[in-house]
Amino acid sequence: MVIQNADRRMQVYGALLLLPAAVLLGTFAYLPTVATLVNSFFLPGFRGAPPAFVGLENYAMLVEDATFWKVARNNLLYALGTIPTSIALALGMALFVNARLPGRGLVRMAYFTPTILPMIAAANVWMFFYAPQIGLFNKLLGALGLSGVNWLGDPGVALTSVIVMTVWKEAGFFMIFYLAALQSIPPELKEASDLEGTSRWSFFWRVTFPLLMPTTLFVLINALINAVRVVDHLFILTKGGPNNATNLLLYYVYENAFSFFDRTYAATITVVILLVLAVVATLKFTVLDRRTHYQ
């Protein structure tokens, strides 16, 4: 009886400890998620009229909206452009600074510095590179006798320009996870393979790379989330233009909500983002957690 009481007290105490977090999460995570879902079935009420329930009309509009499809396609291309490249570069960087290398500390710092910079500041600097007349890239091209490219103004090139900047920003961050993983690989494996005369190439593909799999999956999840979440650079570089060539899902939400003041349509697009994130989360919690082995 006494023990039961003590147990009950522990439960109450534990619940009280959770309370502040629960209230805040409820207010800024669960409530807005539910409200977003609900709002996607409504049209905003004008001039004091209550919002009107319209069922799936917003979704029908979404399906008809050519801009939405363009934005979704951009986001897919953005993910395909940034993720494999930054992961491959991160792995390469980690291999470089894990080996004996003169000035290793400096090299590592150089790779990691972009991680510390705000995306806005990074975009400011890249803006100088991409500017059509006076930008550095076109000056360089000019020096080689080539005509310049309108890096951010040409719809065919703009998204690639944005992707390149993102890769530069992200690769160094992913590098440190690979570096840590590489350092945890027992050196005996390398010694044993050296004794057997295995080439470095096949050692990498048959030993190192498989051992790095959990890290790759971890980095992949982070990169996937970032691909739908981080849009700061668009505010400086392109504002989603030209003609939506660099518009991404979250930026499109922002535009709809705060420039076109269509809150319910913004909610509908947010639902799409939430679905993407739900897929990523499910991937993480079901498939990957069984295969990753972090302590």
Site for another protein in 92-121 (CB under 8 A): 92-93, 96-97, 99, 101-103, 106-121
User: Considering the rule CB under 8 A, would residue 247 count as an interface residue with another protein?
Assistant: no
Stretch that binds another protein, among 70-78, 189-197, 203-211, 274-282 (CB under 8 A): 274-282
* Least CB distance to another protein at residue 247 (A): 15
Q: Residue ranges of the alpha helices (H) in the chain? A: 2-25, 31-39, 57-64, 66-98, 104-116, 119-130, 136-143, 158-183, 187-195, 200-203, 209-211, 213-229, 232-237, 249-258, 263-282, 289-291
Contacts of 131 (CB under 8 A, 6+ apart): 138, 151
Site for another protein in 147-176 (CB under 8 A): 168, 171-173, 176
> How far apart are alpha carbons 269 and 257 in whole angstroms?
10
* Least CB distance to another protein at residue 110 (A): 4
* Least CB distance to another protein at residue 24 (A): 4
User: Considering the rule CB under 8 A, would residue 203 count as an interface residue with another protein?
Assistant: no
> How far apart are alpha carbons 125 and 60 in whole angstroms?
41
> How far apart are alpha carbons 159 and 155 in whole angstroms?
7
User: Pick from 61, 148, 263, 288: which binds another protein (CB under 8 A)?
Assistant: 263
Size of the site for another protein (CB under 8 A): 94
* Least CB distance to another protein at residue 32 (A): 3
User: Considering the rule CB under 8 A, would residue 51 count as an interface residue with another protein?
Assistant: no
